[in-house]
Every structure is written in structure tokens, then in C-alpha cells.
Amino acid sequence: MHPEISSVNASTLSKEEKIRYSRQIMIFGEEGQKKLKSARVVVVGVGGLGSASSTYLTAAGVGRLILVDKDVVELDNLNRQVLHWTRDIGKLKVRSAAEKLRELNPEVDVEGLAVEVNEESVYDIIKEADVVVDGLDNWGTRMIINKACVELGKPFVHAGVHGMYGQLTVIIPHESPCLQCIVPSAGTKPKSGTFPVLGTTPAILATLQAQEVIKLITGHGRPLIGKLLIFDGTTTTFTTIEVSRRKNCPACGNPAMQQ
Amino acid sequence: MVKVKVKLFAVFADAVGTKELVIDLSGEKVKVKDVLEYIRSKYPKFREVEENVPILMLVNGINVLPDDEVKDRDEVSFLPPVSGG
Ligand SMILES: [Zn+2]
């Protein structure tokens, strides 16, 4: 388990769980699976990204999954937000998602919070999280989460998408650059607009997010810390670049820091 | 004279019509914003795209700010971090 994550590991696996997760236990062992079972993950936003990340986190058997989204399902969500089906139009996204995720894996404690993320509510939303997962659709709300994650020392797995483009990074507060270090010119006002997107784009980025979360929790592999992955679906290209902290970053900066 | 290679990603490459440019800039001290200004003046579409998309600027793979310096033979990249979900 990544040293930043400090959940207790007191659980045991039932016979059914050992069978359900047998193929991934071959990768990181029962110890890794128990770490997943002890973990609490918060997915903020249950749209295109959140649908895919929460599905794979549920299938992988995280102990507790908290979904956060204040919106209801609309017809034009359905090309990408695959946890929401035609019959769910008008239903709260967290309810629609939680219903299916509980059926997918009853071992996971799925909770839905239909609340708005703002400077006040954010601390309560993420306080119990071992890892926070980005499923948001605008820079403003992302920066609110980013700042709170830095303050509370929570790992934050970021992704964003547009059309057939996307990016991904793993933020470990005070160790890696935060989102504000990487995108200092992004607006900080919460504003969500209508953006073009093909359903496969968030699916690609969000399954990578789920994989990074699982790596952070189990300690298996090397998470994408201090690096930004850029995805170009039009040419099927993945590019990884190094990103660095800014000592004058308004969110995580420390003037005494060496740069 | 400062010669830099400019790499453009995603919607910025779409706006300019290529993923890579090599440009010569005159002056003793060239900054990242001078490179940006050059592209804006030559490719009006870039300016249009820029209005709606934040720019991640890299020099030799390290994220920088507009006032940071660019040296001869540096590689400058402009990427649009995207915000949909
Ligand atoms: Zn920062």
C-alpha cells in the first residue's frame, strides 16, 4: 500500500470473495485484496468518467465506495454514462449508479451523496476517503477538490476528457505536483458547459483511473505520480510527460521548497 | 536568434494544422510568451481555441509559465488539458 494511505487492514476474505477475486489475487495476492476491502474510495461525479471508474472499482472489490453527484440522468448523458440506462432518465445519478453497482458486487458498501461540491461541503465529502477519484466536468470544481485533497493529504486521481482527447495524473499531496501546479491557467470558478465527447474516451481514461486507485491501495506497480498522461484518440497515441511542482502554487506551494 | 521546436497537441494541433513547427525568434532573451505570440499572430485559429482552453506549457518536458525563458534549440510544447468528464 502506498505510504500515504493508512487504512486498517483487519478484514478477512470469505470463501466466495476468494473465488470472485481469484484472477486478480493472482496479481497482488490475498494481502492486496484485503487492502482493497479495507479501502474507502470517493468518486466525485458519476458521469462518463465516474460511470466507468466506479464500475471497475466495484468489480475489483473496494470495501466502501462513496459516489457524489447532485444531478439527475438526462437523455444526452446516455452516449457515455453507461451506468445510467434509458429507464433511469430523471433519476438521481447516484441512485441509478448505486443500484447497478450493488447488483454487480454486493460485497461493496456503495453509498450515494446527492450534494453539490463547494468550498464548504468538500471537506465532509472527502474526509473519510483513502483515495479521491475525479469524475468532474469542469476546472472550478476540480480545483476545489484539489485544494481540499492537498490540505487533508488525500491522494487524488485526476482525469479530464474532451472529444477524443484526455489526460490523467495521480496527485500525492506535497510529494507530486497538484492540479493547480500543472494547470495554473485553468479557471477556478465552477462552470460546466456542454462539451463534445465520445463515450469511449472517458471509458479509457476512467479505467486507467480505477487501475491507478487499485495500484495505490494494493501497492502493486508504480502509480502515475509526477507524470501526466496525454491521450489522443484520433491517432490512438499515449504521451507521458514529467510535470513539476511550483513553489508559488496557490494550492500546494511552499516558498521554502526546492524547485 | 533563437531556434525552437514547437510541439502542438490535440486541439492546438488541429488549429494550426500540424503537430510540429520549427520557428526562429529574434532577440537576446526569448520567453515562452514570445513563442505563443508568434503562433497567435500566424495562426488566428490558435487564438480562437485558446480562448476556451487553458494551455499547459512545457519547455523540454517541464511545465513552465509564460515569463520563463526559452533557449536556442529548446523544445516547447503546448497542450490543452481538457476538463470534461
Ligand atoms: Zn500545487
- Asked whether the beta carbons of residue B84 and residue A139 sit closer than 8 angstroms, the reply is no
* Contact (Cβ atoms closer than 8 angstroms) between residue B31 and residue B69: yes
How far apart are the C-alpha atoms of B8 and A3, rounded to whole Å? 37
CA A204-A210-A216 angle, to 5 degrees, is: 135
State the Cα–Cα distance between residues B63 and A229, nearest whole angstrom. Answer: 13
Kindly report the CATH number assigned to the domain that includes residue A101: 3.40.50.720
Say whether residue B17 is in contact with chain A using an 8 A CB cutoff: no
Q: Which residue of A has its CA nearest to B9?
A: A232
pLDDT in tens, A41-82: 999 999 999 999 999 999 999 999 999 999 999 999 999 999
Query: What pLDDT score does A9 carry?
Result: 47
ipTM, two decimals: 0.85
Please give the distance, rounded to the nearest whole angstrom, from the Cα atom of residue A175 to the centre of ligand 1.
Answer: 10
Q: Which amino acid is at B41?
A: S
Domain count, chain A: 1
CATH assignment, B2-79: 3.10.20.30
Q: What is chain B's Cα-based Rg?
A: 12
In terms of DSSP bridges, do strands B20-25 and B2-8 run parallel, antiparallel, or are they unpaired?
antiparallel
Does residue A162 sit at the B interface (CB-CB below 8 Å)? yes
Q: pLDDT, tens digit, for every residue of B16-45?
A: 999 999 999 998 899 999 999 999 999 999
State which residues form the domain around A158.
15-242
- The model's confidence at residue A259, banded by pLDDT at 50, 70 and 90, is very low
| C-alpha–C-alpha distance, residues A133 and A148, integer Å | 13
In whole angstroms, give the CA distance from residue B60 to residue A19: 48
| A53's grid cell | 471508474
The answer to whether A170 touches A157, Cβ cutoff 8 Å, is: yes
- For helices A200-218 and A48-60, the axis angle rounded to 10 degrees is 40
Query: With pLDDT > 70 as the criterion, what percentage of chain B qualifies?
Result: 100
List residues, by chain if needed, whose CB lies under 5 Å from ion ligand 1.
A 178, 180-181, 249, 251-252
Q: List B residues 38-57 in contact with A (Cβ-Cβ < 8 A).
A: 54-56
Q: Name the residue among B28, B18, B17, B22 with its Cα closest to residue B76.
A: B22
Q: Rounded distance, CA A82 to CA A200, Å? A: 10
Q: What is the mean pLDDT of residues A112-130?
A: 98
A1 occurs within a structural domain: no
Rounded to the nearest 10 degrees, the angle between the axes of helix A93-104 and helix A48-60 is 30
Q: By the CB < 8 Å criterion, does A185 face chain B?
A: yes
State the distance from the centre of ligand 1 to the C-alpha of A80, rounded, in angstroms. 31
- Identify the residue among A167, A171, A232, A247 best suited for mutation to test binding to B, counting B beta carbons within 10 A and taking the highest: A167
CB contacts of B9 in chain A (<8 Å) are 230, 232, 239
Please indicate if any CB of chain A lies within 8 Å of the CB of B84: yes
